[in-house]
A = this chain, B = another copy of it.
Amino acid sequence: MSDVETLLLDRFERHVEELKQYCAIPSVSTDPAYKPEIERAARFVADRMTRAGLERVEILPTEGHPAVVAEWCHAPGAPTVLVYGHYDVQPPDPVELWTSPPFEPTIRDNRLYARGASDDKGPSLIPILVVEAFLESQGKLPVNLKFLFEGEEECGSAHLEALVTAQADRLAADVVLSADGALWRPDLPTVTVASRGMLAMELELHGAAKDLHSGRHGGSAPNPLPALARLLATLHDDAGEVAVAEFHDGITPPDPKLIDAIRASGFDVQGYFNAIGAELPRPLPSAEDLLVRQWLKPTLELNGITGGYGGPGTKTVIPAKAGAKLSCRLVAGQDPDRVFAAIEAHLRQHAPAGYRLEIRRHGPGSQAFALPADHPVLALTEGVLGEIYGQPPLRVAMGATIPIGTIFRRRLGIETVFFSFSTSDEDYHSPNEFFRLERFRDGMVGWARLLPRMAGQSPG
């Protein structure tokens, strides 16, 4: 075990406490009410980077939430690595389903429970701690390191691309290591080489100008709730496939190697439905069918419907409006702008007469991402994970979106390799998000081993 690893493991308890402090900040990015907490989290990150010994630490404003940048660039001849992470978190609701409050980090069963613990505060704190350990024990880093932590990952990274474009010189590097992402399964080491893109929007149907009594007006006044249900019901066919014209245009077939990986994964379909607590579909899909749907096919999901009374009991109201939030996961060949246009056209075409339809897009969205199979840093991460977990990791795709892959490729001309120690079962968009403390430890070991090996890589 290297000096760096020893130092990190000696301080493990203290680092867990630091992570708890970090997770206590409710840095929810999608809701403007949390803006002061976003700023507090950015300062927490900047302060911690400074204490670790990073230089040129700066909180950079964007038109949305700020990003935090830092660097240590005193390894001439060695490659330059840009570390990506994010300090914002998902909303905690439904809060009543949390066992311990979402922003009161609590350890149970060797897991840290808190909103953001797994996505991405735990995994992204690790490289900062590893930098500190290198600088303390060796006085230097094996490679040049730059950091970019954004504050809008959980609401679509709307201003990241503009920031990266404006700061292209400052962020110039040979490769991105993303501390965001996740190991696919707790029982199997994996590396993620592809992820789906994203497009989010919402719609609202307006009937009367105000809420009306459903007894007085029922039968004569427009009710946007059934109108919305009927409109949303047109989005999929009876088999659950997206029924929007031109939605699937341009899709390219998936990489056959990923299909091979799916077949090799020994994925337990019945176990999957048991784990999420859903009924077993009849007939049960094959592992290949299910993972293709989860990784390699696009979706059009409803994420929320609101309208009328939702409290206890009854309220005999015809609401003035009803709304829905939608998001798509996109696959290779789909363009967020073209998909948005297709959905908008579908909604306008199927919108019922007598109602006003409003459609709002949330952010630019992002295309799907895929890493070249022969990328040398990918091989290095596979080596480190193989050592830690005792078996070579499987290359997998992920259904979720990390838009940075396409942004860094387009704006900095470099690839992104995912090296996160989150695990995808850690409920990071659900109540009771947690981060396994052994993954926190594994991550410190992993980063401490990976960085020296990258020094041997030729830059550029």
Contacts and interface: CB of A to CB of B under 8 A. Distances in A.
Interface of A: 29-32, 90-91, 93-94, 97, 155-156, 195-196, 198, 200, 202, 207-223, 225-226, 228-230, 232-233, 235-236, 240, 272, 276-279, 281-282, 290-291, 293-294, 297, 299, 301-320, 322-325, 327, 329, 353-356, 362-363, 398-401, 424, 427-432
A323 B304 CA distance: 11
Given A208-B277, A305-B308, 12 more contacts: A202-B314, A211-B430, A213-B400, A215-B399, A217-B294, A220-B272, A221-B276, A225-B232, A225-B302, A303-B308, A303-B316, A316-B429
Contacts of A427: 210
Given A301-B214, A307-B304, A314 B327 contact: yes
A-B interface, 4 closest residue pairs, ranked by CB to CB distance from nearest:
A209-B277, A215-B400, A30-B313, A304-B308
Contacts of A279: 222, 354-356
A356 B240 CA distance: 17
A277 B208 CA distance: 5
Contacts of A302: 223, 225-226, 229, 308
Contact of A303 (B195, B220, B315, B325): B315
Given A209-B276, A309-B93, A226 B233 contact: yes
B212 A313 contact: no
A453 B306 CA distance: 52
Contacts of A362: 313-314
13 contacts: A30-B312, A31-B311, A97-B211, A155-B313, A202-B314, A216-B398, A219-B297, A219-B399, A220-B293, A222-B279, A225-B232, A302-B308, A314-B363
A31 B294 contact: no
A255 B226 CA distance: 30
Nearest to A329: B218
B312 A429 contact: no
Given A209-B276, A210-B430, A301-B223, A314 B325 contact: yes
